[in-house]
Amino acid sequence: MIALNTSSLWDLTKRDFSERFAGSVLGAIWALIWPLVNLTIYIVIFGRFMGARLPGTSDTYAYGVYVACGLLPWTAMAGTIGRSTSVFLDKRHIISKVSVSLPALLLVINLSESITFAISMVFFFLFLLITGYNLSGDLMLLPFLFLLQQLFAFGFGLLTATLTVFIRDLREVVGIVLQLWFWFTPIVYVSQILPDVVKKIMIYNPAYVLIESYHSIFVFNDAPSIKSLIVLTFVAHGLICFAYFVFRALEKDVRDFL
Amino acid sequence: MKTLGAWFLWTIFSGTAAAVAWRKIQRHFKVYLLILMSGIYLFGTFVIYALLKNIPV
């Protein structure tokens, strides 16, 4: 069985990353072009040309930074969950031929999305440095925030990937849930515009806790709510435990079904 | 720097504890151990940050 060893994981991740741009002339350069285009849209188009402003600030780029620092992690998390959900079905030609560790396939997706996130973040930081944006010391929490986010996505993805083998409709359901989840999370709008009832519910939204933490660090130069992050740490690890338990219970059936 | 130093020590400590537990534990429970250690590590990281930065938890 291809176990969870570092070199095979890295090889599979590299293959997953290059497969996305297979056959194109520019190849992996597209991995640099995409984040650059996205950041230009978020920061320059929204902030500069459309003149969108964050309430209480006159900074030209503040809204663009607000959107970018919410959308980049969201894209990584939603991409991980979305692709993980159908990974067993998508890779059934490998699973049926080689005795591969199934959770390793999810780790590969997780790592691949993390590389894309890292590339985007490099451009984002370059932009912030060029424009002389004020960065806070709380920035050192960023790797841990991202780790927590991807752990949550891994647990969620493992659960949906296992269940999707038996209930194929779940793939579409997850797509719709992610779409609704995106609009239910203050990424392109500020949470202050929400009605009080929704604000009360919002604290139970894991994506809200994560995205607000990114906003605190990048936009508001403030420490994120550590209490919320600790609660989310428990939730994320509880979810992984539950997902792994379900996966172990159904693993044999998953392989038979595929 | 103080926070980074504390995080570094915490990483060394939790990494060593995980490595020792990894050798002792039965194969079947290794994944659960990994999940548990990851949870403890992140929990500790956030608590250290809150303590050193005087952030109320």
B2 contact A CB<8A: no
Binned at pLDDT 50, 70 and 90, residue A1 comes out as: very low
DSSP annotation of A258 reads -
ipTM for this model: 0.85
| pLDDT, mean over chain A | 88
Name the residue type at position A147.
L
Give pairs for A164-167: CB < 8 Å, separation 24+. Answer: A164/A85, A164/A86, A164/A88, A164/A89, A165/A88, A165/A89, A165/A250, A165/A253, A165/A254, A165/A257, A165/A258, A166/A250, A166/A253, A166/A257
Q: Which chain A residues are Cβ-neighbours of B34 within 8 angstroms?
A: none
Q: Which chain A residues are Cβ-neighbours of B3 within 8 angstroms?
A: 140
Residue from A101, A146, A159, A230 to probe the interface with B (highest B Cβ count within 10 Å): A230
User: What is the arithmetic mean of pLDDT over B25-33?
Assistant: 76
Binned at pLDDT 50, 70 and 90, residue A31 comes out as: confident
User: What is the arithmetic mean of pLDDT over B23-50?
Assistant: 85
Name the residue type at position A20.
R
Q: Which of A144, A241, A244 comes nearest B42 by C-beta?
A: A144
A104 contact B CB<8A: no
- Inter-chain residue contact B32 with A244, CB threshold 8 Å: yes
Beta-carbon contacts of residue A104 (< 8 Å; ≥ 6 apart): A2, A3, A4, A8, A9, A12
Q: Whose structure tokens read 């590389």?
A: A115
A156-193 pLDDT per residue, tens: 999 999 999 999 999 999 999 999 999 999 998 888 88
Q: What percent of chain A has pLDDT over 90?
A: 45
User: What is the arithmetic mean of pLDDT over A214-234?
Assistant: 91
Binned at pLDDT 50, 70 and 90, residue A2 comes out as: very low
Binned at pLDDT 50, 70 and 90, residue A48 comes out as: confident
Binned at pLDDT 50, 70 and 90, residue A232 comes out as: very high
- pTM of the full structure: 0.89
Instruction: Tell which phi-psi region holds residue A136, choosing left (phi > 0), alpha (psi between -120 and 50) or beta.
Output: beta
Q: Which of A140, A147, A244 comes nearest B42 by C-beta?
A: A147
DSSP A22-50: TT-SSGGGHHHHHHHHHHIIIIIIIIIIS
Residue A5 has pLDDT above 60, yes or no: yes
For A147, counting Cβ atoms within 10 Å of its Cβ (0-12 exposed, 13-18 middle, 19+ buried), the class is: middle
Cα A79 versus chain centre, distance: 6
Residue from A101, A102, A229 to probe the interface with B (highest B Cβ count within 10 Å): A229
Minimum distance, in Å, between the CA of residue B14 and any CA atom of chain A: 15
Q: Which of A140, A230, A240 comes nearest B43 by C-beta?
A: A230
B50 contact A CB<8A: yes
Binned at pLDDT 50, 70 and 90, residue A14 comes out as: confident
Length of chain B in terms of residues written:
57
Angle between helices A142-166 and A170-184 (to 10 degrees): 150
Residue A73 has pLDDT above 70, yes or no: yes
A233 contact B CB<8A: yes
B35 contact A CB<8A: yes
Beta-carbon contacts of residue A128 (< 8 Å; ≥ 6 apart): A65, A135, A218
Beta-carbon contacts of residue A191 (< 8 Å; ≥ 6 apart): A199, A202, A208, A212
